Amino acid sequence: MPRTARDVVFVDGARTPFGKSGKGLYAETRADDLVVRVIRELIRRNPGLPPERIDEVAIAATTQIGDQGLTIGRSAALLAGLPRSVPGFAIDRMCAGALTAVTTTAAGISFGAYDVVIAGGVEHMGRHPMGEGVDPNPRFLSEKLVDPEALVMGNTAENLHDRFPSLTKERADAYAVRSQEKTAKAYADGKIQQDLVETLVRSAELGFGLASADEPPRPDTSMATLAGLKTPFRAHGRVTPGNAAGLNDGATGAIMAAEDTAAELGLDARMRLVDFSFAGVEPEVMGVGPVPATERLLARQGMGIDDIGLIEINEAFAVQVLAFLEHFGIADDDSRVNPWGGAIAVGHPLASSGVRLMMQLARQFAERPDVRYGLTTMCVGMGMGGTVLWENVNYKGDK
């Protein structure tokens, strides 16, 4: 029988506060328990959604091992108390894992295979450092399929500085300072807290506690403090812990639904998914990935960057954001870009970050009925980029 594509909407999102890896908030908390907390919160916040109506749970993790393994989408669904009839799966596209969990299940919704899904991601980099258990095929290097530096993300950021001399360390540091300042203001204005779910944490030494805010932000960051930081990836380099996202732990989740199903169940439709695109680039400069992914998407839609009123781009490294902005002729301090700061301040628990971008964009859409379209975009390890185009359901026309 013929099928008609259905409109897909972002209903709601929630995330744990992000912690610092190592001895941070979640040092003694399991990764799957972070996902469970998010799933339960999404159900609590949306009482009109019967759990048995959830058709799929897709959870991403970059390092699918230990408490991030065991087909975490399915295992977290069971642990969260969803009906056993609700299936789940795990997904991996490194940093764009949660973003891909959303686009993959959204495609299923549009096709008619699903009505409602939960999609998200988790990364506990304290328990599972990036690359744990990985055994790269020796052909990558012996046959020179990729540059050796492609396997170290910080080196790929240094390569971007090399390739684009106009992207100086001073510009990267200035961008990082603004990210910290914007995040501090967003916290002061109560913007970010709306998406956080308080999460129980345990310490053998200190007992039980409650994580209620992101741990990584450094609101006192200044150009002077950044200037003195070491450059761990290259002697006299330009990438520092201050102009890059840290190593973090955290989980995110979103409810995605067919627009007609959301209306049937009385669920809010916060924004509408228009299109998405992924693209590959040279792995040794993976940070430039959002550029071709966005170009491909805009070309397909017959749009230009000036049609985009808000941009949430993941700040894996400041230089990677600057490469995107410079390519599209966007000023470093353009107000459309990450209005509430980004990963340099709040953290980047790899596979979880894509849904954080979506949550913030949805909140901003609600405040900006004059903005019709927004992007969520990010670079991806091994040389990729991913971009999603969203439409504001609150759009009232230009003012």
How far is 242 from 226, CA to CA, in rounded Å?
6
C-beta separation of 64 from 92 below 8 A: yes
Whether 95 sits among the annotated catalytic residues: the reply is yes
Would you call 161 a catalytic residue per the annotation? Answer: no
Coil, helix or strand at residue 132: coil
How would you class 190 by CB atoms within 10 Å of its CB: exposed for 0-12, middle for 13-18, buried for 19 or more?
Answer: exposed
- As a whole number of angstroms, the distance between CA 166 and CA 282 comes to 20
Residue 176: partners with Cβ closer than 8 Å, 6 or more residues away: 221, 226, 242, 243, 244, 318, 344
Catalytic residue selected from 124, 128, 161, 348: 348
Active-site residue flag, 379: yes
| Cα 349 to Cα 18: distance, rounded to the nearest angstrom | 7
Q: Which residue is catalytic, options 124, 128, 161, 379?
A: 379
The C-alpha atoms of residue 18 and residue 123 are separated, in whole angstroms, by 10
Q: Residue 192 and residue 185: Cα distance in Å, rounded?
A: 10
Structure token pair of residue 2: 């013929």
Q: Which residues contact 116 (CB under 8 A, 6 or more apart)?
A: 49, 53, 54, 55, 109, 255, 256, 257, 258, 261, 265
User: Which among 331, 334, 338 has a CA at the least distance from the CA of 245?
Assistant: 338
Catalytic residue among 95, 124, 128, 161: 95
Please, what sign has the CA dihedral across residues 299, 96, 75, 78?
negative
SS3 366: helix
* Positions marked active-site: 95, 348, 379
